Amino acid sequence: MKRTLVKFRNSKFRRFIRRHEKYAPILFFIGGFIFDSLTLGRIDRMYDLVVLTSHMTLLTITLYLFNLADDGKWKNTFLERYEEYFPLVIQFFFGGLSSAYVIYFSRSVSLSKTAAFFIILVLLLLANEFLKKRISNKNLQFGTYYFISFIFFVFMIPVIIKEMDTSIFIASGIVSTVLTLTLILTIYISSPTTRAEVQLGKLFGIIAAIYICINTLYYFRMIPPVPLALAEGMVAHNITKQNSNYIVTYEADAWYIFWRTHKVKFYHHVNEKVYVYSSIFAPTDLNKEVSHRWSYYNPEEEIWEVTDEMSYEITGGRDEGYRGFTYKENIISGKWRVDVVTKEESLLLGVIEFEIISEAPKKPPKLVTKKF
């Protein structure tokens, strides 16, 4: 063991870290992001669960080690040789978990009001680059940890217990709050330097503010309902079901419109039905009822008016998402949107927007038929 430690101290890796110490945090941050981007898939996959749980567990342990290092707690132990790397390890796990959340939420977020929470996650991901010089700020350190912990349990608890509703979200917040406060108090009791630097009232106020902020975003439906995610959504001219497949006929958009499958302008014929297809990813064995909420934009009142809401139940486990569709007859011209929401909580999974045009197009539409 001693020979290994001596070899490490004289290694090229350590000399490289020392030489480029200024850039080490961003390298570890990028490393955590790339690692998750290349390896994470389904949130209910065993590998993903192990990676995220390991990240969260090791982050918690490293925070404890880092905060007690200033007190000489690890002096004359093998951990003393690695104390200088604790901030980098914290940076790696902050970056890894933040990037995982961005990856998972990006699959669920719609470019509407839930995008606000997605932007917060992206900002957290980018802000992690600048934590190195401020990582010793314990208020910032524990505040970031609490936010990451909260979202971790919002992900994990529904996956584990196969249930998802408002009470589960509240329970996730309580679990993360209790565990974060336990970590803070454990470090506070064990570390004289922490007691000298931290005002518990101020720190608890920061924790309370984050708790209120996240719950406020949830109350106003501004947090995507992960682990549910809208895998596919489009407006179509015809949908039929053959055995276990859905045959969808739609007008595809231009190749460079990579963020949307269907064309927004829907040329509608008299007595033609307008279909909306969606596939929703859900973890294995998680059952949930979702709705297609059809809304028409009233140009005179300048408001969206809900005209219909049709529901269907999903059962998780299919990689491509659980499929379903709804349709309308006797639809009028104008701007339309279909919100894909959870029926019970009205949490938004995504928005499918289109415009009904009741006239013949200048060129015949190029219809595509695809099997889902």
Q: What percent of the chain has pLDDT over 70?
A: 78
With a cut of 60, say whether residue 10 has pLDDT above it. no
For residues 254 and 266, the model is more confident at 266
Q: Which of 290, 306, 297 is nearest to 346 (CA)?
A: 290
For residues 114 and 327, the model is more confident at 327
Q: How many whole angstroms separate alpha carbon 117 and alpha carbon 338?
A: 21
Distance, CA of 326 to chain centre: 27
For residue 174, what pLDDT band results from cuts at 50, 70 and 90? very high
With a cut of 60, say whether residue 361 has pLDDT above it. yes
Q: How many whole angstroms separate alpha carbon 339 and alpha carbon 346?
A: 10
Question: Would you identify the CATH topology of the domain 229-371?
Answer: Immunoglobulin-like (2.60.40)
Instruction: Please list the residue range(s) of the chain that carry CATH number 2.60.40.1930.
Output: 229-371
In this predicted structure, what is the pLDDT of residue 94?
84
For residue 84, what pLDDT band results from cuts at 50, 70 and 90? confident
Q: How many whole angstroms separate alpha carbon 74 and alpha carbon 58?
A: 17
Tell me what the pLDDT averaged over the chain comes to: 82
For residues 37 and 364, the model is more confident at 364
Average pLDDT over residues 226-250: 87
With a cut of 50, say whether residue 1 has pLDDT above it. no
pLDDT in tens, 86-141: 888 888 888 788 878 877 776 655 555 555 666 666 666 566 555 555 666 888 88
In this predicted structure, what is the pLDDT of residue 240?
92
With a cut of 80, say whether residue 9 has pLDDT above it. no
Between strands 334-342 and 287-298, the pairing is antiparallel
For residues 46 and 11, the model is more confident at 46
What b-and-e string marks burial along 7-29, b requiring 16 or more CB atoms within 10 Å of the CB? eeeeeeeeeebeeeeeebbeebb
What b-and-e string marks burial along 126-158, b requiring 16 or more CB atoms within 10 Å of the CB? eebeebbeebeebbebbbbbbbbbbbbbbbbbb
Residue 164, φ and ψ in degrees, nearest 5: -155, 115
pLDDT in tens, 258-283: 667 788 899 988 889 999 999 887 77
In this predicted structure, what is the pLDDT of residue 222?
76
For residues 19 and 362, the model is more confident at 362
In this predicted structure, what is the pLDDT of residue 104?
76
In this predicted structure, what is the pLDDT of residue 31?
65
Average pLDDT over residues 213-242: 85
pLDDT in tens, 277-325: 998 877 766 777 889 999 999 999 999 999 999 987 776 556 666 788 9
With a cut of 50, say whether residue 8 has pLDDT above it. no
- Cis check for the bond before 158: say yes or no (omega within 30 of 0): no
Average pLDDT over residues 156-178: 90
Q: In what order do the strands lie in the sheet with 287-298?
A: 265-267, 348-357, 334-342, 287-298, 303-315
